[in-house]
């Protein structure tokens, strides 16, 4: 047991795989325990789209992610803190993590909302391209709300204070995430600034019992990543966990895997390791093998809303005509409410084509349940010594992923 950093926060490794760097662990927050490897469903606006908190818990998820950018702008920190913080607001009784808001401030906050089109005939020329209005300097980000165009400033200190009011169990520091194809000097500059911002975040007061994670940058330059991981691990007061940011931002997947295998196990083994915004089931297996403990990604929930059910044996694209009168559930062996409830592919297809929202909830439940099964299986396999076989078998199944599902 590592000495706790934030009050009420502890992390303990239960088992490690003899081959590779996979590990099963548990961390506790003042409100909840989380077994790792774990997958965090994304509740951008305080709701995993289509699901209630009870639904999310039914998939086996023990921790959920909220997006600070969205929650800060709407409904605002006063409303959320007045309802007892994000857990009270959303009625999610387990652990909650918030990101810093930097990623969305950069991607969504760079543009004013489009003005409503003027009445009268359409202009004959194309509209002028929208001008980016986000600025990034040593102080932080200045951006415009994508909702109403209002100017906001996001600094390392503001990120801690906003997340403090939102009140998740785990905060993330504000970082600088360069595009995946950035040259080395740009990545080095991002790493340096992220380190300076790490110090500023750690120096900012936050509510007792809230953990704070640092973010390792460095793109696919493994030496930069390892040096940055060591630098962040050495800071005092210390981070409660370390994250790998800046993956899955345009770099080739094999390069991401290679870098993960060189880097993840070099992050301080006495703290949880979180790979941000990644990924596919294959990504999770590779990263767990590389030593990662925590994941989040919109893939299972977004794909569900696009009518894609993820299964052991490939993707079921529910609108396809082949399912027109298919009486089988998405996956006959699955125990999720959609499959165990006996909803036939033919019924789900009908609902999807008819625009009935219930199918989006059912497929979201199915996909998150499948991610839950994947990490539950990984935890069990690591603890009973069968991780290499579990990984190999699951990857072999996933090799069929591009085949049409049966």
Residue nearer to its own copies on the CB measure, 70 or 200 = 70
| Least distance from its own copies to the Cβ atom of residue 116, Å | 17
Q: Which residues contact its own copies by CB under 8 A?
A: 45-47, 49-54, 70, 74-75, 78-79, 82-83, 89-91, 121-122, 324-325, 327, 337, 341-344, 346-347, 349-351, 353-354, 356-358, 360-362
Q: How many angstroms separate the CA atoms of 127 and 116, rounded?
A: 13
Told to judge if 99 belongs to the known catalytic residues of this protein, a careful annotator would answer yes
* CA proximity to 42, closest of 59, 22, 28: 59
| Least distance from its own copies to the Cβ atom of residue 255, Å | 36
Told to judge if 326 belongs to the known catalytic residues of this protein, a careful annotator would answer no
Residue nearer to its own copies on the CB measure, 353 or 380 = 353
CB 68 within 8 A of CB 166: yes
| Least distance from its own copies to the Cβ atom of residue 82, Å | 5
Catalytic residue among 169, 289, 296, 331: 296
CB 104 within 8 A of CB 70: yes
Residue nearer to its own copies on the CB measure, 98 or 194 = 98
User: If DSSP codes are grouped into helix, strand and coil, which group holds residue 308?
Assistant: strand
Report the chain's C-alpha Rg in angstroms. 22
Residue nearer to its own copies on the CB measure, 198 or 338 = 338
Q: How many angstroms separate the CA atoms of 217 and 224, rounded?
A: 8
| Least distance from its own copies to the Cβ atom of residue 75, Å | 4
CB 11 within 8 A of CB 24: no
Catalytic residue among 55, 99, 169, 240: 99
Query: Residue 296: CB partners within 8 Å, gap ≥ 6?
Result: 39, 40, 41, 42, 65, 97, 276, 277
Q: Which residues are catalytically annotated?
A: 99, 296
């Amino acid at each position: 047991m590592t000495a706790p950093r934030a009050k009420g926060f502890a992390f303990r490794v239960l088992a490690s795989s003899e081959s590779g760097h996979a590990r099963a662990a548990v961390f506790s927050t003042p409100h909840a325990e989380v077994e790792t490897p774990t997958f965090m469903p994304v509740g951008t606006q305080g709701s995993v789209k289509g699901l209630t908190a009870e639904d999310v818990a039914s998939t086996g998820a023990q921790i959920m992610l909220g997006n600070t950018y969205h929650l800060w702008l709407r409904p605002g920190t006063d409303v959320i803190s007045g309802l007892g913080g994000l857990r009270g607001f959303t009625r999610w009784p387990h652990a909650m993590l918030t990101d810093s808001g930097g990623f969305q401030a950069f991607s969504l906050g760079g543009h004013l909302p489009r003005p409503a089109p003027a009445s009268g005939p359409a202009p004959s020329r194309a509209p002028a391209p929208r001008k980016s209005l986000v600025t990034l300097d040593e102080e932080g980000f200045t951006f415009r709300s994508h909702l109403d165009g209002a100017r906001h400033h996001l600094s390392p200190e503001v990120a801690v204070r906003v997340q403090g009011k939102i009140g998740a169990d785990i905060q993330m520091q504000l970082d600088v995430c360069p595009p995946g194809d950035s040259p080395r000097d740009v990545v080095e500059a991002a790493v340096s600034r992220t380190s300076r911002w790490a110090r500023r975040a750690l120096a900012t007061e936050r509510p007792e019992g809230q953990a704070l994670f640092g973010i390792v940058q460095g793109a696919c330059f493994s030496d930069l990543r390892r040096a940055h991981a060591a630098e962040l691990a050495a800071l005092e007061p210390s981070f409660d966990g370390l994250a790998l940011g800046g993956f899955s931002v345009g770099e080739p997947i094999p390069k991401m895997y290679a870098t993960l295998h060189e880097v993840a196990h070099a992050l301080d083994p006495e703290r949880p390791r979180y790979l941000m915004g990644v990924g596919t089931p294959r990504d999770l297996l590779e990263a767990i093998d590389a030593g990662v403990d925590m994941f989040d990604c919109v893939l299972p929930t977004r794909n569900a809303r696009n009518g894609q059910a993820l299964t052991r044996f490939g993707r079921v694209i529910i609108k396809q005509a082949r399912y027109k009168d298919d009486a089988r559930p998405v996956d006959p062996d699955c125990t999720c409410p959609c499959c165990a409830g006996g909803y036939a592919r033919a019924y789900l297809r009908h609902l999807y084509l008819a625009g009935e929202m219930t199918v989006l909830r059912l497929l979201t439940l199915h996909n998150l349940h499948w991610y839950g099964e994947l990490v539950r299986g990984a935890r069990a396999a690591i603890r009973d010594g069968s991780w290499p076989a579990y990984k190999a078998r699951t990857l072999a199944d996933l090799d069929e992923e591009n085949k049409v599902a049966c």
